[in-house]
Structure 1
């Protein structure tokens, strides 16, 4: 075993960073045996140096992350700061000074992954980011290494634990959205400002990263169609149950049937209770991958939290450290296909539409005619009426999203339709 240690700069020491430092210290001997050389925490860059950080030598703390990376003896940087800046500038600085990078930064990778990969390649260094998607679940490396010889056609998954916890509570207890969110906040699953989670931004960033890996093409955050789940109601869950379904916030990435384009989207959807994703409870994540040769694979586990995310970071650290010793690099960006990202309207899906309508003869026929005029076939209709008012629930057959959206807009204009109470896609069949 090599005796000179590989030196590691830790950028950020919050929940994940402090857990990374703890594991590096307590498992130092095991890590050295697995890597073939010791790894040494050489510096920890933070914003608040006065904060007490148990288990971390105070002499390692610095507020000057740039100077730490420029020291000349750093081999690997672990970036767990999050956000776009200063993380982007620090990762670029690391590459310029011969430092490979392990990152957990989904937002940055979804926005600027191509540029960061190019910088890593230019300097002959590694950029690993298993922890950026689905926490402890081994997903990024299996997709870009184990399935590198296969053709992935579809990826569908639950990649945000906060939203899954909220939707699971609404489903299992009958709680409303706000009540379930309050419980998630009290238990620490939701941030004080949960916007990034409940509006789908977090899941969309992860979807962009996964789509790029799955389809060997560049997919940015702006390419991902996104809907949040704040409008999902108890009535939607009641309708889902009548259909033998539940509701999940899904990231869905698909290759077109002709192979000429891809789509990426995040939105709530009804899925059958028979689908493996329907049984994913609490704050867990799960991703369903459909490949041509391997068939259907499911990756499941805790998708967030200090220890699970640190586990993914340390896995990358071991891989990058081994590459350093071998004077080699692991797989970089694979974007050779350069496939275009199709608009949402090209996606073929099903809709569950709940309408408030006048309870009088001819309404159903008028609604059915509107669907037919837009080329959308109806699968089932359920109608309930009382005191001159009625609710009409329509589930469609598969059709282009543009045709379904056009149908909904036309329904809104009918005099007999008092309102569109809810619209939800039906997936996973």
Structure 2
């Protein structure tokens, strides 16, 4: 028998909610809205009334939590009727156009679309300001980990100096598997794909593009400056070898793909940097113990000191949790009036190029095995102002095609990126260095 007892939320006003996308995250969002409707209504002060779910194929079964009657292939008509639009479809278009249309019709929006925010956050912020609505995007960075809100709001009265993070679970799983099993990159990637951590086309993850989009968002929030995806220096992990992993372990370090955004102060000049690359960090660093597909973000602020945020960085349920936190915030504003935080870009700091930065490096070379080679390599580095910290050398087995070879692993003190680039160019043009096997930066020391 169906109960006719009225629920406590029946007397509350309703907010019309449209969902764009019903994939892994979208279906979890819909599940939470329907299963936790009563609790959400009491927290918000209004009922969330799901009026439609926009999909490409309305005939496809979306599982037990998605009412087929709500499915539509007409997203534009849907967003014009909503008070709140949740965008989890991904991509640049039609997502951007739909969000702009939703805001023009008075809807607040919640999005998990990191690529769109990294490419064109400005137009979304401007539309939200023009129409007096909210835009929230906690789920765009690090899944379930609350990092956008702390940087955007909790640390708004502080001065963030640096954010250092593992924000891509796929690459962290691959590097962790390489370190724990001795597997090469290809085998570790295949394992990640089998487990569902990596897409069939993993390019966005393994080439660093996903992490770069998140770095763009974090830098913009942390430094009150618009930092676009084109401002982020980006390197992926495809060149990281089993030999690099072994060398890192020998040095008491671990290789992680890091997103780094930081404030750079040179005298009276202030700039910001945003970059993504694989780097060696000490085993004692908190980020070194982040395993499998987990994410972690390390924030350094002037007054708060060091803060670390850790948790699941992807997946349907974890990401939906972040989406729903934003939904509650935006919905509360619809009930009580007012809007949430606006864009803060007053600082308008210049973005430094990678060549202007200083880093410590690990360089792996295959060289001729003859007297004077070490002195020649050290001399090349010295001419470019690069000081050597340690050298590790081992002979390689000789064969008819490559007699008399040695492997040299060098760690340097901090030096200009442009200086290291010039030194590597010199190595490439000499017969002494047979190959430059890898170049990795050292962070966290």
Q: Give TM-score, length-normalised by structure 2.
A: 0.95
RMSD: 1.0
Matching residue of 2:294: 284
- Mapping for residues 342-353 of structure 1, pairs under 5 Å: 342-353=352-363
Matching residue of 1:391: 407
Does residue 247 (structure 1) correspond to residue 247 (structure 2)? The answer is no
Partner residue of 2:171 out of 163, 168, 177: 163
For residues 29 and 3 of structure 1, the distance between their equivalents in structure 2, rounded to whole angstroms, comes to 11
For residues 60 and 67 of structure 2, the distance between their equivalents in structure 1, rounded to whole angstroms, comes to 12
Matching residue of 1:61: 71
Cα offset for 1:59? 2.1
For residues 70 and 173 of structure 1, the distance between their equivalents in structure 2, rounded to whole angstroms, comes to 52
- Mapping for residues 12-411 of structure 1, pairs under 5 Å: 12-53=21-62, 54-71=64-81, 74-258=82-266, 260-386=270-396, 387=398, 388-411=404-427
Does residue 418 (structure 1) correspond to residue 434 (structure 2)? The answer is yes
For residues 347 and 145 of structure 2, the distance between their equivalents in structure 1, rounded to whole angstroms, comes to 27
Cα offset for 1:58? 2.2
For residues 107 and 200 of structure 1, the distance between their equivalents in structure 2, rounded to whole angstroms, comes to 12
For residues 214 and 354 of structure 1, the distance between their equivalents in structure 2, rounded to whole angstroms, comes to 35
Cα offset for 1:408? 1.2
Cα offset for 1:226? 0.4
For residues 37 and 5 of structure 1, the distance between their equivalents in structure 2, rounded to whole angstroms, comes to 5
Q: Secondary structure at the match of 1:264?
A: strand
Cα offset for 1:60? 1.4
For residues 125 and 410 of structure 2, the distance between their equivalents in structure 1, rounded to whole angstroms, comes to 46
Of the structure 1 ranges 407-416 and 321-330, higher mean CA displacement relative to structure 2 is found in 407-416
Q: Secondary structure at the match of 1:261?
A: strand
Q: Which runs of 5+ in 2 are unaligned?
A: 1-8, 399-403
Cα offset for 1:257? 2.4
For residues 65 and 432 of structure 2, the distance between their equivalents in structure 1, rounded to whole angstroms, comes to 68
For residues 13 and 69 of structure 2, the distance between their equivalents in structure 1, rounded to whole angstroms, comes to 21
For residues 346 and 65 of structure 2, the distance between their equivalents in structure 1, rounded to whole angstroms, comes to 45
Q: Secondary structure at the match of 1:260?
A: strand
Cα offset for 1:425? 0.6
Cα offset for 1:57? 2.4
Cα offset for 1:111? 0.3
User: Residue by residue, what CA displacement relative to the aligned partner does 1:372-404 show, whole Å, maximum 9, x if unpaired?
Assistant: 100111111111225411111110000111111
For residues 230 and 101 of structure 1, the distance between their equivalents in structure 2, rounded to whole angstroms, comes to 36
Q: Secondary structure at the match of 1:101?
A: strand
Q: Secondary structure at the match of 2:411?
A: strand
For residues 160 and 421 of structure 2, the distance between their equivalents in structure 1, rounded to whole angstroms, comes to 28
For residues 254 and 111 of structure 1, the distance between their equivalents in structure 2, rounded to whole angstroms, comes to 20
Cα offset for 1:56? 2.3
Q: Which runs of 5+ in 1 are unaligned?
A: none
For residues 203 and 332 of structure 1, the distance between their equivalents in structure 2, rounded to whole angstroms, comes to 24
For residues 185 and 319 of structure 2, the distance between their equivalents in structure 1, rounded to whole angstroms, comes to 27
Cα offset for 1:332? 1.4
